[in-house]
Amino acid sequence: MRAAFMTDVNAVEVRDDAREPDLDPAGALLRVEACGICGTDARTFFNGDPKAPSPWQLGHEPVGVLEEVGADADLPPGVAKGDRVFLGSILTCGECRWCSEGFQNLCEHHLLYGYDPYPGAYAELAAVPPIATKNLIPLPPELPSDLATVADPFACALNGIEQLDIRLGDTVVILGTGPIGCWQAVMARDRGASKVYLTDVSGDRLKIALDAVGDVVDDSWVAGDDNGVEDVLSRTAGQGAERISVAAPAKPAQQAALEMAAKRAKVVYFAGLPKHDPVSPLDMNQLHYKELDILGAYGATHRQYRITMDYLDRKQDVLAAVVTHRWPLEQIAQAFETIRSGTGLKMVIVP
């Protein structure tokens, strides 16, 4: 079969004679129709990761057809051989406290599909290990495979929006206009926000985002030296915004969010910082005197994946625009370079 292997940092090789994965008696095999490039894949490609030992097969946002199912596989209700399915990437034990309480994203023993020991799906055929079978979700018949791949990051964006708890009439500011920021803008409008503002440090990236979701955005701007604080205050009569999502992995954005927040506002730090430099200097007096709620959001739960699949199906016309590029497997290197250049939003590989 054909498969793409990361052979080094910033190096990928597509092989026509890659070995097909074995069928685990308790697992399945997925004939891949499409696989999105996650921000985690991009960071690994650009910087390396010990959990992706070279040569390694990345890809953890796959959609495809269940071609084979092991005799001992425990599939979710409504999923069978031959079905088109999405595979959620966060692999969980199903037994710890957090899994039992429905917070699978916080599983004490969670792993990630597409990382050691489970190769990913930038290939024609991908293994679904036993730990991942419970993550299989059937696709609505009319949902295109390229759009369905975004279910993984979209569910994560939904987690952040649910943490924000947007109310009717709230002003929502989203810092960062990648795919996550775009999807959160759409959801914020659906949840009743009176104003939705988008901001980014890159004018080019902001324009691409507005081309995709500009219809749900009330205003937008390129963040200046104060990272957009004055822009928010000037649009809110000096009061600040009630709900703010930091969808960019940047320390200045994290601080700016506190300064542009209204009293008793909620701020969600969606994007994490690099693991080698995770400590951010924040003005805690902003939190103290304004009585702010500062929250984190990581990954998604099984419930959020299910909600996402229905939402994607209903909102295809709006959400499909965020998938700006579709690439054959042979051009996966160009896909990564497009991410690096910031000239697109969501990249999908179509084997």
Number of domains in the chain: 2
Which of 296, 314, 329 marks a domain boundary?
Answer: 296
Q: Using an 8 Å Cβ cutoff, are 277 and 250 in contact?
A: no
End-to-end CA distance of the chain: 10
By 3-state DSSP, what share of the chain in percent is helix, strand and coil, each rounded to 5? 35, 25, 40
> What's the burial of 41, exposed, middle or buried (CB within 10 Å: 0-12/13-18/19+)?
buried
Sign of CA dihedral 24, 25, 31, 36: negative
Are 131 and 227 in the same domain? Answer: no
CATH number for position 270: 3.40.50.720
Which three-class secondary structure state does DSSP give residue 131?
helix
Contact indicator for 38, 61 with CB cutoff of 8 Å: yes
44-52 own/partner pairs: CB under 8 Å, 24+ apart = 44/6, 45/6, 45/9, 45/10, 45/12, 45/336, 46/9, 46/10, 46/336, 46/340, 47/9, 48/9, 49/115, 51/112, 51/115, 51/116, 52/6, 52/115, 52/116
Low-confidence ranges of the chain (pLDDT < 70): none
- 134, 102, 143: which is closest to 299 by C-alpha? 102
* Amino acid 52: pLDDT: 96
* 280 and 310 inside one domain: no
| Domain C-terminal end among 296, 311, 326 | 296
Q: How many CA atoms lie within 13 A of 126 on its CB side?
A: 33
Are both 165 and 49 inside the same structural domain?
no
Do 8 and 96 have their domain in common?
yes
Within this chain, do residues 321 and 271 fall inside the same structural domain, yes or no? no
Nearest-angstrom CA–CA distance, 180 and 94:
27
Provide the total of helices (H) and of strands (E) in the chain, helices listed first: 12, 17
DSSP β-ladder status, 171-175 and 111-112: unpaired
Same domain, 18 and 116: yes
311 in the same domain as 169: no
β partners of residue 5: 13
- From residue 36, alpha-carbon distances to 86, 88, 236, 292 in Å are 11, 12, 37, 35
Burial classification of residue 6, based on how many CB atoms lie within 10 Å of its CB (0-12 exposed, 13-18 middle, 19 or more buried): buried
DSSP state of 12: E
Strands 84-87 vs 90-91: parallel, antiparallel or unpaired: unpaired
Residue 230: HSE in the Cβ half-sphere, 13 Å Cα cutoff: 5
Cβ-based neighbour number of residue 100 at 10 Å: 11
Strand pairing category for 84-87 and 62-69? antiparallel
User: 313: domain range?
Assistant: 3-153+300-350
Same domain, 195 and 73: no
Q: Quick one: pLDDT at residue 274?
A: 78
- Length in residues, the chain: 351
**Beta bridge partners of residue 30, listed in sequence order:** 66, 126
Say if residue 197 is in the same domain as residue 325. Answer: no
Task: For 190-227, write each residue's pLDDT tens digit.
Answer: 999 999 999 999 999 999 999 999 999 999 999 999 99
DSSP state of 132: G
Tokens (6 digits) for 68: 């084979």
pTM over 0.85: yes
Same domain, 184 and 224: yes
Backbone phi, psi, residue 67, to 5° = -80, -40
Q: Are residues 40 and 138 in the same domain?
A: yes
- List the CATH number of the domain containing 55: 3.90.180.10
- pLDDT one-digit tens code per residue, 125-182: 999 999 999 999 999 999 999 999 999 999 999 999 999 999 999 999 999 999 999 9
Residues 292 and 321 in one domain: no
pLDDT at 271: 86
